[in-house]
Amino acid sequence: MDAFDNQTKHDTLIHDKPDSLTHDEKSPVLEISGLSTEYPTPRGTVHAVRGVDLVLGKGDILAIVGESGCGKSACLLSIMRLVPPPGRIVKGSVKFRGKELLALSEAEMRELRGKDMAMVFQDPMTTLNPAYRVGEQISESLRVHRLLPGFPGRLLRKERERERERVIDLLKQVGIPSPEHRHLEYPHQFSGGMQQRILIAIALACRPKVILADEPTTALDVTVQAQVLDLMREINEELGTAIVLVTHDLGVAAEFCYKAAVMYAGQIVESGGIEDVLSSPLHPYTRGLLKSIPKIGQRRELVPINGEVPDLTDLSEGCSFAPRCREAYSYCERTSPPLVHLKNGRKVRCHLYT
């Protein structure tokens, strides 16, 4: 999908969260506060995630947007406690239904991953195991979490049949044609879109309460992208699954999400309802992102954001966006802006609002 299509969607598809899904704001499914993750490197410590706060209620769909290298994927990996070593979470709290995940043992986390919180990665080719049939990869999740009778241990014929039925049901649910036959095929026998659907089937196998999706449609063409997003919305509406969608595509965020968090240099710099953030952006970075994509019906010059994302090993004392900000003043370079809470649940990290 190109930026022009994205903006069309932005203009036409912004929607409000259904009323039935708003009641659970008071009892969050996922509550993240002060989450900070670092990667030691020979060049210095990469401060990939810096004090991220997020709250997700039942049925919420949150977009985390921003340029590449802003810490979006590192944030999702931190929530799942899948930060590859030597990276480590250095501070903060991640609570799933009130339970502190950072205090759990690795065995307890393994029990929770897949069953309560699942992750869909960007590239199915590198996530699916080429040596196993797709049906086996889906049923593995059911086996690990003992969600079918007889697991773990040797399966009786009747139990194997139930497992097969469940896998076929899941493939049907994600729109794989002829699942009775195709569950026996290998990943390379599926197209990119179909592989992404299989990843979603794996994520759905245990009916998790939260799905964290890292650019799940980036590698897909526009038709398949729409199908995958429709599928995820159906899951959200039917099961009340909360979804965090990492994307650099504002069109996808506008079409699919109810809330938005804009990330820059490892921090959330603006957050709020998707319509508020996209129609009246507060932070100069969000405004820059929106000005740099075309808008349908408007003939105007696109204005790129000057400069590049900062080196996360060498962050300044002041606002990280200051070297690129057209509205910066001398104070910005010396002092880091606090997160300011405004009306309608909007938050912004900028001295213009202090």
Judged by CB under 6 A, the chain residues 225 through 284 that form the site for ligand SF4 are 284
CB of 240 to ligand SF4, least distance (A): 36
Per DSSP, 321 falls in state T
**Torsions phi, psi of 223, nearest 5?**
-70, -45
Contact window for ligand SF4 (CB under 6 A) among 41-49, 68-76, 130-138, 320-328: 320-328
Cα dist. 69→47, 48, 65 in Å? 11, 8, 11
CB of 324 to ligand SF4, least distance (A): 8
CB-nearer residue toward ligand SF4: 30 or 319: 319
321 in contact with ligand SF4 (CB under 6 A): yes
CB-nearer residue toward ligand SF4: 14 or 340: 340
Task: Give the interface size with ligand SF4 as a residue count (CB under 6 A).
Answer: 12
Helix (H) or strand (E) holding 119: strand 117-120
| Binding residue for ligand SF4, selected from 198, 206, 319, 347, defined by CB under 6 A | 319
CB of 339 to ligand SF4, least distance (A): 11
Burial class (CB in 10 A: 0-12, 13-18, 19+), 218: middle
Per DSSP, 115 falls in state T
| Binding residue for ligand SF4, selected from 327, 341, 342, 345, defined by CB under 6 A | 327
Contact window for ligand SF4 (CB under 6 A) among 104-112, 144-152, 298-306, 315-323: 315-323
306 in contact with ligand SF4 (CB under 6 A): no
Burial class (CB in 10 A: 0-12, 13-18, 19+), 24: middle
CB-nearer residue toward ligand SF4: 213 or 350: 350
Contact window for ligand SF4 (CB under 6 A) among 200-208, 272-280, 289-297, 317-325: 317-325
Contact window for ligand SF4 (CB under 6 A) among 76-84, 100-108, 202-210, 323-331: 323-331
32 in contact with ligand SF4 (CB under 6 A): no
66 in contact with ligand SF4 (CB under 6 A): no
CB of 139 to ligand SF4, least distance (A): 49
Residue/partner pairs of 70-74 with CB below 8 Å, 24 or more apart: 70/263, 70/264, 70/265, 70/266, 70/309, 71/37, 71/263, 71/265, 71/266, 71/267, 71/312, 72/214, 72/246, 72/248, 72/263, 73/214, 73/215, 73/246, 74/37, 74/48, 74/49, 74/266
Is the separation of the CB atoms in 286 and 262 below 8 Å?
yes
Interface residue list for ligand SF4 (CB under 6 A):
284, 319, 321-322, 325, 327-328, 332, 337, 350-352
